[in-house]
Amino acid sequence: MMKMKTKLLLSAAILTFLICITANAQPVPDQKMIQGTILDASNHEPVPYAHIAVMDDDSLFIGGTSSDPEDHFMLTTLPAWKGLLAVSYVGYNTRWIPLPVTTEKSFPEILL
């Protein structure tokens, strides 16, 4: 009787694990990818570790990231909305950039 319970629990655990993996592997339709580079407006030098936040029209936080040491950033957010991209760094004014309703948006250079 004990072996049967153990087998049943093990089978349930494996099934749960497989369902979780399958659910996570499914692509989210219409995700918006945003990428770009952050530069200092006065000298065009990289601004590493700048903060990038995506806000909806009601100023609710949707997602965010930081630029890497070479000033690049990339993030994937939820679908089909328009909003704002807020780029900030200590000592700089925050830059607010309108985001159109598109699936991808690339910013070659964002100057702070």
Burial pattern 48-57, b for ≥16 Cβ within 10 A else e, equals: eebbbbbbee
Chain-wide mean pLDDT for the chain?
75
State pTM to two decimals: 0.65
What pLDDT shows up at residue 31?
A: 67
Q: Which helix (H) or strand (E) holds 20?
A: helix 2-25
Band the pLDDT of 30: cuts 50, 70, 90. Answer: low
What pLDDT shows up at residue 66?
A: 87
* Across 63-92, average pLDDT: 80
Band the pLDDT of 25: cuts 50, 70, 90. Answer: very low
Greater model confidence, 79 or 38: 38
Greater model confidence, 21 or 6: 6
Tell whether the model's pLDDT for residue 103 goes beyond 60: no
User: What Rg, from alpha-carbon coordinates, does the chain have?
Assistant: 21
